């Protein structure tokens, strides 16, 4: 990995299109790139801080800073006494409002969805309460099984006001990409996370045993003007995902 990484780091430094003056951010990008390009697989160890500093002619403080940010993002994990590794589980920072597609691409995994439902219909009483919509409003409903490479990772049911997303077929792979194109990418979200045992149908879809641990997440996302843009309920596989949050004292 050391040579691939140092080649990538040097390439970034020489790239005239790269205007990043800070070495630790360039190194972070180089590590991200080698993971995304599958030049190094999950579970592999990163060269030691000392070796990286020597090979890349950087200070250890710079290398440490680059690594710390990627540990926080969930791309790398550190095991005490053993070193730093490319994360095997998918670590999802809870402080960033990202999409499934973005999360997977960042880790070099190919996202894919199987649609069970992609329709337009009338809002239910529960949805109208959750989304602040008047009874009778139209909504788009998506029910999807979400894959990373060819492995099923999550089941998602999303509801989006038709006033924001007029045609369900505008969502091809990513809901957030479709919303972005409409100028309605969510800016803020409220999320509730709950531990669940996956029922028979969910377990069958996610290729795990019935009763396996899952994470049930409800997300309500908002536009800048306060309108609710999505109400999504997801069931993520508990054996693969870690949700992490950074906490601060007041």
List contacts with ligand 16G (CB under 6 A). Answer: 99-101, 156, 158, 174-177, 217, 219, 230, 232, 234
Q: How far is the CB of 212 from ligand 16G (least distance, A)?
A: 18
Residue 53 or 97 having the CB closest to ligand 16G: 97
Tokens at 177, concatenated: 């990409």
How many CB atoms lie under 10 A from the CB of residue 200? 9
Distance between CA atoms of 84 and 48, rounded to whole angstroms? 8
Rank residues 77 and 101 by Cβ distance to ligand 16G and give the closer one: 101
- Identity of the residue, 73 or 156, whose beta carbon is nearer to ligand 16G in the bound complex: 156
Q: Which is nearer to ligand 16G, 9 or 100 (CB)?
A: 100
CB atoms within 10 A of CB 84: 20
Q: Which residues contact 224 (CB under 8 A, 6 or more apart)?
A: 187
Q: How far is the CB of 18 from ligand 16G (least distance, A)?
A: 27
Q: Are 63 and 27 in contact (CB under 8 A)?
A: yes
Smallest separation, CB 112 to ligand 16G (Å): 10
- Residues in the chain, total: 250
For residue 20, CA distances in Å to 32, 55, 66, 183 come to 15, 20, 13, 28
State the nearest-atom distance from the C-beta of 15 to ligand 16G, in Å: 29
| Strand-pair partners of 93 | 244
Name the minimum Å distance from CB 102 to ligand 16G: 7
Q: How far apart are CA 129 and CA 126, in angstroms?
A: 5
Q: Residue 6 or 98: which CB sits closer to ligand 16G?
A: 98
């Amino acid at each position: 990995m050391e040579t691939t990484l140092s080649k990538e780091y040097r390439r970034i430094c020489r790239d005239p299109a790269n205007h990043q003056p800070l070495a630790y951010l360039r190194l972070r990008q180089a590590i991200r790139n080698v993971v995304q390009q599958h030049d190094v697989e999950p579970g592999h160890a990163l060269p030691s801080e000392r070796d990286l500093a020597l090979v890349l002619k950087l200070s250890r403080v710079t290398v440490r800073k680059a690594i710390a940010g990627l540990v926080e993002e969930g791309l790398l994990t550190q095991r005490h006494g053993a070193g730093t590794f490319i994360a095997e589980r998918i670590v999802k920072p809870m402080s960033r409002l990202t999409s499934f597609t973005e999360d997977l691409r960042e880790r070099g995994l190919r996202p894919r969805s199987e649609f069970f439902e992609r329709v337009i219909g009338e809002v239910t009483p529960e949805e109208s309460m959750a989304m602040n919509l008047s009874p009778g409003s139209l909504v788009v409903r998506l029910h999807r099984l979400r894959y990373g490479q060819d492995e099923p990772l999550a089941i998602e049911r999303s509801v989006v006001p038709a006033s924001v997303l007029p045609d369900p077929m505008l969502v091809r792979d990513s809901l957030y990409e479709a919303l972005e194109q409409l100028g309605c990418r969510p800016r803020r979200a409220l999320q509730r996370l709950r531990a669940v045992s996956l029922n028979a149908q969910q377990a069958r879809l996610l290729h795990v045993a019935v009763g396996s641990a899952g994470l049930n997440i409800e997300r309500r996302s908002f536009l800048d003007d306060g309108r609710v843009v999505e109400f999504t309920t997801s069931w993520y596989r508990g054996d693969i995902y870690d949700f992490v949050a950074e906490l601060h004292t007041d």
